[in-house]
Amino acid sequence: MTDFERKVYQIIVNMHLYGKDPTLDDLKRKTGKSEEAIRAAMKSLLIKGELKWDKKRKIWII
How far is Cα 26 from Cα 56, in angstroms, rounded to an integer?
22
Q: Is the pLDDT of residue 62 over 90?
A: no
DSSP bridge pairs for 53? 60
The larger pLDDT score, comparing residue 54 to residue 7, is at 7
Q: Is the pLDDT of residue 12 over 90?
A: yes
CATH of the domain spanning 3-61: 1.10.10.10
For position 53, what pLDDT does the model report? 86
Q: What tens digit of pLDDT does each residue of 13-59 get?
A: 999 899 888 999 999 999 999 999 999 999 999 999 998 988 888 88
Q: Where do the structural domains in the chain lie, given as residue ranges? A: 3-61
How far is Cα 28 from Cα 13, in angstroms, rounded to an integer?
16
For position 38, what pLDDT does the model report? 95
